[in-house]
Amino acid sequence: MNNMIWEIKSTLIPKTEMNIGMYTSIYNEFETKEEDILNIICDYFQKRHSNKDETSIYDRINQEQLPSNLYQCYMLSHEAIDKEHTLAANAIITKKLNRLLSEQYELDSYLNSINVLLEDLLNLVKNDLPLKTKRFDTKSFIKNIEFAYDLDHEYSRLIVRLESLIPLIVEELSYQSNNKALLIYCYPESNLSPKEQIRFRNILEDLGVPIIVLTGSKHFIAHDLAHMNYIRNEKQLLTVDFINHLVWDAPLNFEKLEIKRSLEKIIKLYQEVIELTPKISNYNLADIIVFEPIDIYVVVKYLKHAKQDFVLDIHYDNLPIAVAKYIKMYDLKFNK
C-alpha cells in the first residue's frame, strides 16, 4: 500500500483527514471519539450494506475517490480474538477449520466410518426403541473439539493466545476477501505489559495486510509521520501544512527532513504526556526532556498547534540566541 491521505466525509461525523499507510496509527485523544471515525471507515469498505450513500473517502495524494469495494474491512480487538476460542458457528477460526476440512479428500471416508460405528453402537442398546443416530458431519466434529488450555500452560497468557490466533485469523480473512482485507485493531495495548506490547506490535506489522491501530500507547504509534494520526477538536494535527509551517516559522535554518524526524521522535517518546499540561525542560527532570534546539522548537510549536497548555523550564543560555528569543515568546515568565 502506498501512502495516502484520506478525506472522509459523512453525514455522521465532521469532515476528517487521515494519514494512511501499511501500518497506520491513530492516537486516542481524550475528547475525540476515534471509534466513530473508524466505524465509518469500516462500514464504508463492506461488500454488503456499505454506507457509501452517506459516506465518501477521497485520496488527496492520488486525487481519486476510493470505491467501497477497494477493501473488505474487519474490526478486531483482544476481546474479539478471545471469543474465537468458543468456536462458535460464526467464528473466523471455525470458518477456517470448515474450509480446511472441506479440502481434505479423505473427509467423506472418515465421516462415513464414524457414522457406521455410531450406527453399530446404537444397535447394541436401542432395544427395539425407534432410535436413530444423528448424522455426524463437519459441524458435529467442530462441536466436539475445544481448545485444551491444560496442554500448554503458556496458552493462558494473552500474548501467547494472540500470537497463536492472529496470523491464522488474518490468513482466513485475506482468503475470504480475495486479498482485500483491511484491519482496524482497537487498543492493542490492553492487558499487555510494555514488553508484550512491543512483541505484539511486531506481530501486527508482520501480518502483510494494511492495518489501522487505535491506541493510547507509544509502543503502537506508527514509525513514519506520514502514517500517524492525532485528531483534536475535530481537526487532524499531523498535516503537510503543519510541517510546512514548522519549516517556514523556524528561527534557524532547519531542514524539513530534520523537522519531520524531530516531530516523529517527540510523538513516539512523549505523546502519552501531551494532554497532561507537561513541563518541558532542557536541563532538569520534567515530563518532556529535550536538549537540541530543533527539538525544543518543534515540541513547543506542536503543543501550541494542539492548543495544549504547558510549562517551560528552559536554560536559555544553552540555546542559540535566535531560538532562545523565539521560545521566550511562549514562556509565561517573560510574558506576565
The pLDDT value given to residue 1:
75
The answer as to whether 134 is a domain residue is: yes
Domain check: are 132 and 274 in the same one?
A: no
Domain check: are 74 and 94 in the same one?
A: no
Domain check: are 60 and 34 in the same one?
A: yes
Q: Which amino acid is at 270?
A: Y
Domain check: are 203 and 160 in the same one?
A: yes
The answer as to whether 206 is a domain residue is: yes
Q: List the alpha helices (DSSP H) in 46-157.
A: 78-83, 92-102, 107-123, 138-143
**Region 21-38 average pLDDT:** 92
Domain check: are 58 and 78 in the same one?
A: yes
Quick check: 21 pLDDT over 90? yes
Q: Which domain holds residue 125?
A: 90-142
The answer as to whether 302 is a domain residue is: yes
- In terms of residues, how long is the chain? 336
The answer as to whether 99 is a domain residue is: yes
Domain check: are 159 and 182 in the same one?
A: yes
Quick check: 153 pLDDT over 70? no
pLDDT tens digits along 175-185:
999 999 999 99
Residues 291 and 176: their CA atoms lie apart, in Å, by 51
**Region 261-269 average pLDDT:** 97
- Number of domains observed in the structure of the chain: 3
Of 230, 246, 269, which marks where a domain is finished? 230
Domain check: are 223 and 259 in the same one?
A: no
Q: What percentage of the chain carries pLDDT values higher than 90?
A: 82
CATH number at 62 reads: 3.40.50.300
Residues 166 and 172: their CA atoms lie apart, in Å, by 10
Of 99, 117, 142, which marks where a domain is finished? 142
Domain check: are 243 and 286 in the same one?
A: yes
The answer as to whether 180 is a domain residue is: yes
**Cell digits for 212?**
489501522
The pLDDT value given to residue 221:
97
Domain check: are 292 and 179 in the same one?
A: no
Domain check: are 324 and 244 in the same one?
A: yes
Domain check: are 221 and 100 in the same one?
A: no
The answer as to whether 39 is a domain residue is: yes
The pLDDT value given to residue 129:
85
Domain check: are 71 and 167 in the same one?
A: yes
The answer as to whether 294 is a domain residue is: yes
**Could you give the 3-state DSSP secondary structure of residue 230?**
coil
Of residues 160 and 331, more confidently modeled: 160
Of 230, 256, 278, which marks where a domain is finished? 230
Q: List the alpha helices (DSSP H) in 177-319.
A: 194-205, 240-249, 256-270, 293-305
The answer as to whether 150 is a domain residue is: no
Residues 304 and 278: their CA atoms lie apart, in Å, by 12
64: pLDDT confidence band, cut at 50, 70 and 90?
very high
pLDDT tens digits along 178-225:
999 999 999 999 999 999 999 999 999 999 999 999 999 999 999 999
**Region 159-184 average pLDDT:** 95
